Amino acid sequence: MQAEATRQQVEIERLETELSRLEDVRLQQQTSIQQLNETVDRTSKEHTRRRDQAGQTIHALTSELRTTKQALEDTAKRERQVYCFTRLLLVWL
């Protein structure tokens, strides 16, 4: 009976040690998971910020391109008008 009690006590101590080790592993994993979650959150926020910034840049460039296109079309129209006016003057002279 005494041997059985001693064997059970040794087994209980072994299980408590294993439980303690597993608890330490769980805490380490919990810390790692928290750090990974923070990294994912930071990365996600940075990605969102860059995407928004890129969208704003594209919008600004699109607007500038439209303005430039309109200016080029207006210049081409004025050049045609000047050309036509010059030809008209040459015909009159």
Outline where DSSP puts E strands in 1-93.
none
Distance of CA 41 to the CA centre of its chain: 10
Kindly report, residue by residue over 49-81, the tens digit of the pLDDT: 999 999 999 999 999 999 999 999 999 999 999
CA distances from 10 to 7, 17, 18 (A): 5, 11, 12
Enter the pTM of the model.
Answer: 0.60
Q: Which residue has the tokens 């430039």?
A: 68
Mean pLDDT of 6-15: 93
Cα 65 to Cα 58: distance, rounded to the nearest angstrom = 10
What does the DSSP 8-state code read for residue 93?
-
Q: How many angstroms separate the CA atoms of 70 and 79, rounded?
A: 14
pLDDT at site 5: 86
